[in-house]
Structure 1
Amino acid sequence: MVPKPESSVFDDLAAEHRRLDAILAGLGPDDWVRESGAPGWTISDVVLHLAQSEELVLATVGGERAGFVREEGVHLDTLMDRLVAADRGMTPEQVFERWRKAAAASPDALRNHPPKERLAWAAVPLSPRTLATTRLAEHWAHGLDITDPLGIDFPDTARLRHIAWLAQRTLPYAFATEGEEGGPVRCELTGPDGESWTFGDPGAPSVIRGPVGDFCRVGARRVAPGDTALVAEGPHAEAALRVVRNYAT
């Protein structure tokens, strides 16, 4: 069984940042204005959102929460749309440099924060390690939104183990949010290099099996469960695939 991810999540977040940096550095002017895989957003919008959300990481580490103040009933996606719209006048070069600056600082800011001191975030306060995992999940998912429309290779990596851990660990929250009846679900997943990773109670009556990349894409709502190689067995596994998520709402 794979244990809860340890401090390497900070290193892996930095590695995901470096991969995205190399991709963005190779884009031409026309690429930045292309429609991304995120509905309603160009590729520049996606990078701007990542820049803004990394700045929010640095703000919450510094004890601020203003970025996540929202009216009651306002969905997080709506708030993020408003933030992007407010800064949409920036050039691609400005957006790229803004993201680079925040992304360069956030892994160590989280790594150096007291590990048991929770940080204000979108839905509930999170430990620095868990917040780093959510940032890894978001950069990976939006990396798909950037690379898929441009036909750029974006292979799965062992860093997905953190995202899979997050998705399985937060299933009770996902069941409750979606109003679905849930129960213990374990995940027996295969990594991109053939690794075997198990998350959850080994005695759980429900199990999801298959490639970790498929599981993470379902959790990111980038693919439907029926379009993957995932197998769901037991009373709650199919429902888990309907509600699983790698992101806050």
Structure 2
Amino acid sequence: MSLDVIDDLEAEQEQLDAVLSRLTPEDWLLASAADGWTVADVVLHLAQTEEAVPVTVRGDPPPVDWRRYGGTVDDAMAAMVRAQPAPPAEILQRWRAARVASVKALRAADPQKPVQWVTSALKPRTLATTRLAEHWAHALDITAPLGVAWPDTMRLRHIAWLGHSTLRYAFQLAGLPAAPVFCDLTAPDGSSWRFGDPSAESAIAGPAGAFCRVGAQRLAPSDAGLLTSGPHAADALRLLRNYA
């Protein structure tokens, strides 16, 4: 894992690119683990969202307002995918160009100047973390149905940090008072990643990969094997989200 999240975003994208470059035309048309989307649809979505990063960093008005496509972000993203079908080879090239431009823009951005991303103002490195989290989650959607290995890496530390750091926001969205929660997670190499105040009365412990999958809504909390203690940990795990 690099100390620079933008380096790790680029590494995550390159790992996914290596998988996508080996897919057959038939593979691209198979159902992914993202409900209702093929593998091609998932990569198109990644391309569309990566194309928005340089625009956001520059502070330009988006060429397409997502609100025109749906009342929620998820509905709008699905509608945008449906609106731009293309052959797999074109989608792959579009995503490759978009990811290069996205990383370049994030590296050049003022790290202290927040940019508007969908409904939130984020600093560029936090935006890079959300892009890393999205590429990781969608890589799971692509590789699992194809039987392709996608082992956890130390890059998950950024995603685990994002999940923990947005817990206050997640509590607020649910109409609950924010409560401190300490997370003691086991990294892929067996080391410990700790987030929050160790003296907090609520805590979550267990594998970082499971924690990140719960936050990406790729694993139910009840199936994650994570240990919760204290009055607020179960709610925190239920509300956990790896996006800002």
TM interval, short-chain normalised: over 0.9
- Distance in 2, matches of 1:6 and 1:72, equals 37
> Once the 2 structures are TM-superposed, how far is the Cα of residue 136 of structure 1 from its aligned partner?
0.1
The reply on whether 1:192 has 2:188 as its aligned counterpart is yes
> Once the 2 structures are TM-superposed, how far is the Cα of residue 6 of structure 1 from its aligned partner?
8.7
The reply on whether 1:111 has 2:102 as its aligned counterpart is no
Q: Answer with 69-78 or 95-104: which moved more.
A: 69-78
Following superposition of structure 1 onto structure 2, how do residues 37-52 of structure 1 map, counting pairs within 5 Å? Answer: 37-52=33-48
Distance change >3 Å, CA 7–CA 107, structure 1 → 2? farther
> Once the 2 structures are TM-superposed, how far is the Cα of residue 65 of structure 1 from its aligned partner?
3.8
- Distance in 2, matches of 1:57 and 1:143, equals 19
Q: Is the 8 A contact 2:51 2:101 kept in 1?
A: no
Q: What is the match of residue 75 of structure 1?
A: 72
- Distance in 1, matches of 2:152 and 2:69, equals 37
Q: Is the 8 A contact 1:175 1:243 kept in 2?
A: yes
Q: Is the 8 A contact 1:189 1:210 kept in 2?
A: yes
> Once the 2 structures are TM-superposed, how far is the Cα of residue 59 of structure 1 from its aligned partner?
1.2
The reply on whether 1:240 has 2:236 as its aligned counterpart is yes
- Distance in 1, matches of 2:32 and 2:238, equals 24
The reply on whether 1:201 has 2:197 as its aligned counterpart is yes
> Once the 2 structures are TM-superposed, how far is the Cα of residue 71 of structure 1 from its aligned partner?
5.8
Distance change >3 Å, CA 231–CA 35, structure 1 → 2? same
Q: What is the match of residue 84 of structure 1?
A: 81
Q: Is the 8 A contact 1:141 1:220 kept in 2?
A: yes
Q: Answer with 61-70 or 222-231: which moved more.
A: 61-70
- Distance in 2, matches of 1:10 and 1:32, equals 27
Q: Is the 8 A contact 1:180 1:239 kept in 2?
A: no
Q: What is the match of residue 97 of structure 1?
A: 93
Distance change >3 Å, CA 172–CA 98, structure 1 → 2? same
- Distance in 2, matches of 1:23 and 1:72, equals 30
RMSD: 1.7
Q: What is the match of residue 60 of structure 1?
A: 56
Partner-residue secondary structure (3-state), 2:121: coil
Q: Answer with 42-51 or 222-231: which moved more.
A: 222-231
The reply on whether 1:127 has 2:120 as its aligned counterpart is no
- Distance in 1, matches of 2:96 and 2:227, equals 39
Partner-residue secondary structure (3-state), 1:232: strand
In the comparison of the two structures, how many residue pairs are matched?
243
Q: What is the match of residue 148 of structure 1?
A: 144
Q: Is the 8 A contact 2:69 2:75 kept in 1?
A: no
Q: Which amino acid in 2 is paired with 1:144? A: L
> Once the 2 structures are TM-superposed, how far is the Cα of residue 202 of structure 1 from its aligned partner?
2.2
TM-score of the superposition, structure 1-length normalised? 0.93
Structure 1, unaligned runs of 5 or more: none
Q: Which digits, 9 at most, give the CA deviation of each residue in 1:1-46, with x for residues without a partner?
A: xxxx996101000000100000000000110000001001100000
TM-score of the superposition, structure 2-length normalised? 0.95
The reply on whether 1:167 has 2:197 as its aligned counterpart is no
Q: Which has the higher contact order (CA 8 A, sep 6+)?
A: 1
Q: Which amino acid in 1 is paired with 2:122? A: L
Partner-residue secondary structure (3-state), 2:18: helix
> Once the 2 structures are TM-superposed, how far is the Cα of residue 180 of structure 1 from its aligned partner?
3.3
- Distance in 2, matches of 1:65 and 1:234, equals 45
> Once the 2 structures are TM-superposed, how far is the Cα of residue 69 of structure 1 from its aligned partner?
4.5
